[in-house]
Amino acid sequence: MTNAMAARPGYATGGGTALGAAALTLLMGICWALAARSAADGAAMYVAENASLRSSGLVRELRQASYATGAQSIACFAGAILLFFRTAFGRAVVIVSSVLGIVYIGVTAIGDDYLPALAVYGVPSLLATILTVAKPTGRWIAAKPGR
């Protein structure tokens, strides 16, 4: 879409959907960072209490969860910042990180009592995805001054 199309009458270029998606993605980044810290602390406490069981499967799973949620947090922060700067790449990163977050928490919550986690991580991810793929977000990015 060109600037001429974005500036046509009837095509609003307000950034409400994009800014809302970026704000939700920043919130998700904070939540994922807290989850990474929690998993890392859990692994450290388990190792401290059970010094002979350092190679335990639980410690390995907690560390993997810490790495996965930490990477998710970084992706959310990067996508939100890039979306604030009106880049199409930021839009793509927000979409991918939100969908991956939904998949990750959905797979993690299956068969366990993690429904609150599904609500805390899944709902904002779904809302951010919807707001990011919305046409007004694309028009707002396309109408970036200086393009």
Cα 124 vs. chain centroid, distance in angstroms? 9
Q: How far is CA 41 from CA 30, 31, 59, 77, 130, in A?
A: 16, 15, 10, 22, 33
Per-10-residue mean pLDDT, the chain, length 147: 52 81 94 89 78 68 87 96 94 95 83 74 91 93 80
Q: Which of 127, 146, 137, 125 is nearest to 90 (CA)?
A: 137
pTM attached to this predicted model: 0.81
Delimit the domains of the chain by residue range.
Answer: 24-32+70-142
